[in-house]
Amino acid sequence: MVNLAESAKRGSGRTWRRRGSALSRALALSRSRQRRARGHLQRRQPREQPRRRQGREGGGTMELKKDSNAVAIDMLLIVHSEKRRAAQATHLDSQADPGALLQNRGGFQGVRNGIRKWQELERNGFQGNLPEKQCLQPPQVITSYDNQGTQLTVEIHPQDAMPQLLKKFSLAKRLQGDKNGNMRPRQPGRKDAHAYPWDRSSLKSMPLDLRHFEKLDASASQVTVKSGLDELVSDLLQEAHSDLERVRAIWIWICHHIEYDMEAAQEKDRQAFKPTDILRTQKTNCDGYAGLFERMCRIAGVQCVTVPGYSKGFGYQTGQSFSGEFDHAWNAVYLEGHWHLLDSTWGSGLVDTTTSKFTFLYNEFYFLTHPALFIEDHFPDNKNWQLLKPPQSLRQFENNMYHKSEFYNKGMLSAHPETSMIRTVNGKATVTIESCAPTLFMFMLNGKQEHGLLSLRKNGMKLEVYPPTMGTHKLQIFAKGNSEIYSSVLEYTLKCNYVDLSVRLPTELHQPVGPSWFSEQMGITKPSHPDPIIHTSDGRCSISFGVEEGISVLASLHGDDGPITEETQRRYIFQLNREKRTELKVQLPHAGKFALKIFVKKRQEQGNFVFVFNYLLCCANTKVNWPMFPESFGNWGQGNELLEPLSGVLPANRNIPFKLKLHGIAKALVKGQDTWPLTLNPEGYWEGSCNTAGCQEVYVMVLENANHNFYSYILKYKVNDQ
């Protein structure tokens, strides 16, 4: 998915705290009143009216009261003229939070800029109905917190302005926090941190049973936007009865309705998206996803912050370094006493690297992801938001192995090597993966399924790669889950400084090699050769395995050199079918390496044979030059056996002896220019001979029933030209 970076927000108001200001001191004096506050939020006249200097400065006090869990605030408001404020700007900046100073001086770029624009949009949204003249002079906004987490935001307007703030928004609602009355999300602490590495117990940072969300997910995904954000959140929460379910409903809706805006993502100065615009277009970038998620959680009464940082997503190159502006944004939510991480941008879908088009493809992995897994592709600007102890450094983040989300979604547990950059040893690199269940794998080296041996294990796989040239290569590993689609789970940069020319693998050697749990699942059991590589000194070998009832087996031989064509690929294999077991006699046409492919098919089902696995056959004997076997037909039945002649090409003008074991037949003969009968000997073999003079082909034919008057072909030989 797309690489975008995160920005942490300082609280629900998203502005900085002025520690030494008069406003903060005034708030500190009002704490006792805040604890006793009751009644509806009211505004009353100040106890005494201070003098006001016309056009210069003025002040007053105001007490606000709110019912139930709200706060009462005695406020001393001092308004300076523009000139006086400008003179004090340097003094105020020296007391500001260091983060605010960086922000004021343009120290944060990229996603930071996007998040700052979100803050500006929120502030400007409160005065959207003001005359144009007033909009040209935006108010000064000051937000302060006391040490109990109470937030106050004050807007200071020019003297001639008429801010109708109470018409634009409800102050009581603006001061509303979560259900516990907390106004400012607390920073993650020691109890939020997870010790890494991942303990394999769960992909989530809290115990979850996703089956409990089925009804909620179905309901949330069908909610439509009717008017504004408040009504949307209200509709989403109809089926939600806890903070966890509220977060889940918001997550599901965003992931299924908001599309990633590729055009906006490619702009250098990324625009900030107003919630109203996102709901209207249903498009945004990562800043918009994170900002919308935070805003909806705040309306729902759940503590949520936006986190900026670096990411390994769309456009990421294995081993790359990160610097400069952040490229992504995600969220943290406070649930059941702990902070948890999620990324609705990556949860919603992915971008095709070839077309740069976004596709909705829900990804459960990025909902409340375990921090030890989240850190693999998300590095926050503030190390506390890693929720890890000890936190990782940026250098560790860059060098660590990146397991894609599908690695864990498809049940992978670990991979070796654990670094994204690997080197060959004597021209070979080995990769192993451990999985929690039997899984199908495939690999690609530089975009091709060549130059490697991939063998399946019951809980994982082993891959040996032999790069054909020196230099840097791209190695990708794919896994197949419940669907028919292979997904990329790992990517390595492979460096090769030596090529073993003796190891040249056939182009047609596909994955997997050797029998495994998969071939057993497909009906092939107890192989005579459990290893994937078979060496033969004379170019011949015999391979056998059990075959389940109702399964047909087909084999073909593939090599890179020699005259083997598609028509003759099966003629170097002679298949003998015995009861519940099949034997493959193989004769190689020459020295070299060959792929022996095994296919199966259920006899009662329509369709083609399905590839199961292959062996790698190796022969170094340059004198090897075996001919093809005779061609067999469908009537070559189970239990039949050919002793001679094994060569499918017979010499001309010669008497050729025949010896076969044939079951369930009445008569057998050999037909060339003439016809020669075969006789049954005491050992159960049909024997005889024929002369090849004057013919180009020779057939073995059988009469299956003495009452029949027609013969069937079972074998076919070719005769050399004279």
Residue 481 C-alpha from the chain's centroid: 12
**Residues known to be catalytic:** 286, 328, 343
Strand order in the sheet with 452-457: 412-416, 429-435, 460-465, 452-457
Q: Yes or no: say if 303 and 180 are a contact pair by the CB < 8 Å rule.
A: no
Consecutive H or E run containing 112: helix 111-125
Six-digit token string for 176: 């509303």
Residue 404 C-alpha from the chain's centroid: 5
Q: Which amino acid would we find at residue 217?
A: D
Helices 286-299 and 229-236, packing angle to 10 deg: 70
Consecutive H or E run containing 84: helix 82-95
Q: Yes or no: say if 156 and 78 are a contact pair by the CB < 8 Å rule.
A: no
Q: Whose CA is closest to 285, among 196, 374, 346, 202?
A: 346
Instruction: Give the integer Cα–Cα distance in Å for 699 and 716.
Output: 5
349 CB neighbour count, 10 Å cutoff: 19
Angle at 491 between CA 490 and CA 492, to 5 degrees: 125
**Which residues, 6+ apart, have CB-to-CB distance to 296 below 8 Å?**
229, 232, 233, 236, 250, 254
> Residue 721, class by beta-carbon neighbours within 10 Å (0-12 exposed, 13-18 middle, 19+ buried)?
exposed
Instruction: Give the integer Cα–Cα distance in Å for 720 and 722.
Output: 6
Instruction: Give the integer Cα–Cα distance in Å for 4 and 112.
Output: 11
**Which residues, 6+ apart, have CB-to-CB distance to 526 below 8 Å?**
545, 546
Residue with tokens 């239990």: 639
Phi, psi of 7, deg, nearest 5: -135, 125
